[in-house]
Structure 1
Amino acid sequence: MVLLEKALAKITLSLDVLHKREDGFHEVEMIMTTVDLADRIELYPLKQKRIEVTADNQYVPNDERNLAYKAADLLKRTYQIDTGVGINIQKHIPVSAGLGGGSSDAAAVLRALNRLWALDLNKEELAALGASIGSDVPFCVYSTTALAKGRGEKLSMLPAPPPCWVILAKPNIGVSTRTIFPQLNLANIVHPNTRDVVKAIKKKDFPSLSRQVGNVLETVTLNQYPEAKRIKEKMIQYGASGVSMSGSGPTIFGLVEHRSKAHRIYNGLRGFCHEVKLVRLLGHE
């Protein structure tokens, strides 16, 4: 028996950092949603008690460093499961891109193993388990649209944003979140207006949403990686309505209301950007 599960990519419509916490993490306020770009996860039972991970991407580890492996190991230990599991990851979400690929893979494994091992856990329980794997895993368990606070694990669900096209452009570099946050100068950032982003989403107001998108981590990533900054400038020049960086980057996204315009921008960016994708905004299960 093989179980299939989709792991959706996410983008951050708004990312604010409020202060550094006593535990060393940063207090964040993010609005995250999903796009129709997904990894494909296959799970199958093993008679042996081990966890086996394979992936079709050389940059994805196949051992305990992999978040999907950690998710399976956590459930196995927590609920004393005697059998093993094989996990095959077919990557479509770019790696180290700010699109939550690893976290979404882990969340997909939690959802699928919940069925395979008949654990009967609800999403709230799976999200609580996922928080110990990574800050974005709880959101990825739900894979809808949400306001995230704390380290990113405290979620308030929102309706889906106004439907539109999303252009994702990633330069040929990878960025690690843990290297970006320590470089952020909290005294010298312009905070996005999270409340207005929420209002725009609830009203399905595309022009307002496009004006309000923002990400304080751009001050670090775009300065460190000028190729990402050039992509953002080009996307704005080509006419995308809401342009921002997703997560800690380096992927830049642009929101576009009409398909014909989205295709023109997509084709314009393909000439000088390593990886460009044209997808739809989802924001719901």
Structure 2
Amino acid sequence: MIIECPAKINLSLDVVGKREDGYHLLQMIMQTIALYDRVKITKNNEMVITCNKIDVPCDRSNIAYRAVEVMKEKFNIEDNFKIEIEKNIPVAAGLAGGSTNAAAVIKGLNDMYSLNLSIDQMKEIGLKLGADVPFFFEGGTCLAEGIGEKLTKLNDVSCHLVVAKPPINVSTKYVYQNLKLDEIAVHPDTKRIIQYINSNDIRSLAESMVNVLETVTVREYPVIFEIKNIMMEFGALGSLMSGSGPSVFGIFEDKADALKCHNRLRDYIKEVFVVSTINRGV
């Protein structure tokens, strides 16, 4: 069984508070994009996980491996599996590549064993693995609240994107630990952004995008700001860092402009993609 699992971007990301357990409360708009990993699941004598990228762990620290363990325990599945991950989504990039792989495993085993789990049931299992996992059972365009698990489906956004991941690694934990809520000068107007989405006003949406985590990540890694500027110079309607970074995306009205921007960025960044938004998850 092979499952295509898409990446996500954040069209906006706001931190609106902090729980007693240390988790930050979020209000963000998430969007799946046509950049896919592929996860192949086959029965095997022992648990094995493989990946075509050497910087992806192939042991229990891989969230897809843990997804298998959760499903085996919850549904008394005695079989073992070989999980083969074809990784096309950049790693540790703010694009939720690990979370979408975990969602693919849950959906794949649900189908393989005819468990007939509902989307809500799969979301509940996914949340035990990570806050971004439930989103991939919805996909498309969603408002995510709480720690990211409270999802509200929005109208589909349709546009061309350039996504660029500079060759740096950003620790999500570091970003949140160094985020100073009382020093954030500009928050996204999430209600207004949703209105733009509902009226299919892509230009106003792009111009209104804000990610408050940029206040930490861009200060540490100025290359993110440089990429945003290049995207705007090449005609992007708006440009934003996704998640805690370091990936940056730009929204383009015209695919030809997106391709020109892609070619410029490829001069010094290896992982650059021209993709579109999609209205599906795993």
Bucket of the pairwise TM-score, normalised by the shorter protein: over 0.9
Q: What is the aligned partner in structure 2 of residue 150 from structure 1?
A: 146
Count of paired positions:
280
Q: 1:280 to 1:159 in 2, by over 3 A?
A: same
Q: What is the aligned partner in structure 1 of residue 212 from structure 2?
A: 216
The one of 237, 252, 258 equivalent to 2:233 is 237
- Partners in 2 of 1:283 and 1:32 — Cα distance? 11
The one of 43, 46, 49 equivalent to 1:45 is 43
Q: What is the aligned partner in structure 1 of residue 21 from structure 2?
A: 23
Aligned partners of 1:44 and 1:86 also within 8 Å? yes
- Partners in 2 of 1:233 and 1:283 — Cα distance? 28
Q: What is the aligned partner in structure 2 of residue 66 from structure 1?
A: 62
- Partners in 2 of 1:175 and 1:123 — Cα distance? 31
Unaligned runs of 5+ in 1: none
Q: 3-state DSSP class of the match of 2:182?
A: helix
- Partners in 1 of 2:247 and 2:12 — Cα distance? 14
- Displacement of 1:21: 1.0
Q: What is the aligned partner in structure 2 of residue 32 from structure 1?
A: 30
* Percent of residue pairs identical: 41
Q: What is the aligned partner in structure 1 of residue 179 from structure 2?
A: 184
Aligned partners of 2:230 and 2:261 also within 8 Å? no
- Partners in 2 of 1:176 and 1:44 — Cα distance? 33
Q: 3-state DSSP class of the match of 1:191?
A: coil
Deviations 1:176-214 (A, max 9, x none): 212211110100111111111111111111111111111
The one of 224, 243, 248 equivalent to 1:247 is 243
Unaligned runs of 5+ in 2: none
Moved over 3 A (4+): none
- Partners in 2 of 1:115 and 1:284 — Cα distance? 17
Aligned partners of 1:160 and 1:284 also within 8 Å? no
- Partners in 1 of 2:90 and 2:25 — Cα distance? 26
Aligned partners of 2:34 and 2:275 also within 8 Å? yes
- Partners in 1 of 2:18 and 2:76 — Cα distance? 37
- Displacement of 1:51: 2.4
Q: 3-state DSSP class of the match of 1:215?
A: coil
Q: What is the aligned partner in structure 1 of residue 3 from structure 2?
A: 5
Letter matched to residue 26 of structure 2: V
CA RMSD of aligned residues (A): 1.1
Q: What is the aligned partner in structure 2 of residue 268 from structure 1?
A: 264
- Partners in 1 of 2:125 and 2:99 — Cα distance? 13
TM-score, reference length from structure 2? 0.96
The one of 188, 193, 196 equivalent to 2:192 is 196
